Amino acid sequence: MSIGSYSCDESDGDASPAAHQLSCDDLAYGLDAQDCDHMAAIGMFAQGRNDYGDNGRVWIGADGPNTFIFINAAGVPITLIVWYKAPGDDAASFMNVRQPGTNPVKMSAAAAEQQQPAPTATAEVVPTPESANAPDTTGAAAAPEIPGAPAPTAEAEAEAPVPSEAKEPPAEATPIAQLWTAAKATGHPEVWGVTLADPESHVPTRIILQKYLNANDGDLDKAKDQLTKTLEWRAKTKPLELVKKTFSKAKFDGLGHVTKYLQDGSAEPEGKEVFTWNIYGGVKSIDETFGNLEEFLDWRVALMELALQELDISSATKAITADYDPYKIFQVHDYKSISFLRQSPQVKSASAETIKVFAQNYPELLKEKFFVNVPAIMGFVYAFMKLFVAPKTIKKFHPMSNGGNLAVEFGESKVVGLGERLPANYGGKGAELDEQGRGPLLE
């Protein structure tokens, strides 16, 4: 038997005359399936084969000499009717797929009237939302709906799976995405000089959020809590404004510096090393420097924010992970000429509060911390640190009795000759901190 000549237009699924004839034997399984899905279906029936793997259909039987029934992947019964082409008949096409959500293929009314078989039953197609929204492709020359397609048999309905309305739940948001949601909820848009944005496309924001995750060993709830508190603290304290603030030269002159060292020709984040230097041995009056705790903390935060400006996370293009993070700072605390036999309450209070504020609001920014020119009896500082700093951070602390040995500690840095670029009193050959460093504004 022959199935009439036709071709398929992808734009609307209409059949149109073609210049050649196709027979069932010639219509190979899956032929032109990409261009016309209906052709593949007829080829499937002609050869008695299923195409569930390609198109999600299983043939469940024939219900008459020219009516076939199959089910799709959703379990919806589909009736396919084939009209045979009589010799010499000029009808353009001879098939109609009555499938929810699929536009019927147009055929001539004359051909339908002449060639459709005697009706045996009326097939009622199960409506779906997709079919309700499908555009009507019938027109003045299109055939009316064919009543001769029988309903699926009881046996076919029993075998057909029940259509499922359940939708897969949305994928759970990643920890970074959830932190971003928490950050937006606080209303403060900035951390460490970075204006927060969607971490999917903004690497600096992703770095910051990942640091909060890393600081809490991947515990999302703890990371959210710390990030929220940081944002609230920054909204209240306004650290970026403290960088512009002028502090008392009598109280803080020479006590804090920030230095930056670059590897020539390197665009990698490892090619930059940033240091903060706290020269507590230069304190002229403990009462003046540490007496006003709020003022001291403002000055100390301003120094840290200057270091973050040099670190320049806002320009970063390389994301971090739980194991890789080059965006960190060296800290050096010089206690030369300080007596640790009797520590004033002001110093102890300033030390404890500074450690607490920094642990809460500047996580995962410390690369290593060196305490230089430290007497052996210095113990109270570590006692305070252990109260507020994570054990993995404590491991980064290095007490040194001789500050002149500091330069040899940086042999693994990607900045070649880093130790030699430090000031001479720390074992290097570089200029003094007053010359090569910068600090908070003083007057």
Question: In the prediction, which pLDDT does 394 show?
Answer: 80
State the DSSP H helix or E strand holding residue 361, giving kind and residue range, or none if neither.
helix 345-361
Structural domains of the chain, ranges and CATH numbers in brackets: 7-159 (no CATH), 175-233 (no CATH), 238-442 (3.40.525.10)
266 backbone dihedrals φ, ψ, rounded to 5° = -100, 130
Q: Give 7's DSSP letter.
A: E
Distance between first and last Cα of the chain: 102
Q: Measuring CA to CA, which residue among 294, 306, 275 is closest to residue 192?
A: 306
Q: What is the mean pLDDT of residues 282-307?
A: 96
pLDDT band at 86 (very low <50, low <70, confident <90, very high): very low
Burial label for 156, CB within 10 Å (0-12, 13-18, 19+), is: middle
Output the pLDDT for position 172: 74
- Token pair belonging to 216: 């809490």
* 120-129, 243-252, 375-384, range with greatest mean pLDDT: 243-252
Give the tens place of pLDDT for each residue, 333-365: 999 988 654 678 888 899 999 999 999 999 999
The amino acid occupying position 443 is E
The per-residue pLDDT for range 102-154, each reduced to its tens digit, is 333 333 344 444 444 444 443 333 334 343 444 443 333 333 443 444 555 55
Computed on alpha carbons and rounded to an integer, the radius of gyration of the chain in Å comes to 39
Q: Supply the pTM of this predicted model.
A: 0.61
Model pLDDT, residue 230: 99
Rounded alpha-carbon distances, angstroms, from residue 251 to 122, 290, 292, 302, 304? 97, 9, 10, 15, 18
Determine the average pLDDT of the residues in 366-388.
77
Residue 170's pLDDT band (cuts 50, 70, 90): low
Residue among 314, 277, 274 nearest 440 (CA): 277
pLDDT digits (tens, 9 = 90+) for 381-439: 666 666 777 777 788 888 898 999 999 999 999 999 999 999 999 999 999 999 999 99
Pairing of strands 190-191, 95-98: unpaired
Q: Give the pLDDT of residue 383.
A: 64
What tens digit of pLDDT does each residue of 296-338 get? 999 999 999 999 999 999 999 999 999 999 999 999 999 998 8
